[in-house]
Amino acid sequence: MARLVAFVALCLLFASLAAATSPFLVKGKCYCDTCRCGFETEATKYLAGSKVKIECRNRVTNEITYTIGGVTNSQGEYNILVDRDCGDDVCDVVLVESSDKRCGKPNGGRDRARVILTRNNGMISDVRYANNMGFLSDEPLSACTRILQQYQLTEDQY
């Protein structure tokens, strides 16, 4: 019986160590706001080859404690493997550079996405989904007036 209890305790110890060292996978998308309206529409273009980074800062000192970069794939999606638990640090995925020079200005309010990179929060999965982030196009597409009418928005309202 003592061997069984020791074996179970040892298994639990190894399981907790494996969970504590397994990486997080942060997933999200980058897009070009082709209508310059501040949100995704049917005219939104997802950007392949754009650069993003995850930046974690100490809550008290605001010093950067961790950073890692990533690049979007052909569908504008990024998958960044984070190899550590960032504890109480505040972590954001941040736009770095657009792959489309005609759509290069980060959209304020959609230029970063907060992610929780700690295991002490009740989440079971190691996958973290970040909100989509966008760049603004230099000029809206001609189809945007029609698209925004579907949302009952006009140029004067955005």
Q: What H or E segment, with its residue span, contains residue 8?
A: helix 2-21
Is 94 exposed, middle or buried (CB count within 10 Å of its CB: 0-12, 13-18, 19+)? middle
Per-residue pLDDT tens digits for 73-86: 999 999 999 999 99
Per-residue pLDDT tens digits for 43-79: 999 999 999 999 999 999 999 999 999 999 999 999 9
Output DSSP code: residue 46.
Answer: E
13 pLDDT more than 60: no
Domains of the chain: 22-151 (2.60.40.1120)
Give exposure, 16-40, as e/b (b: 16+ Cβ within 10 Å): eeeeeeeebebebbbbbbbbbbebb
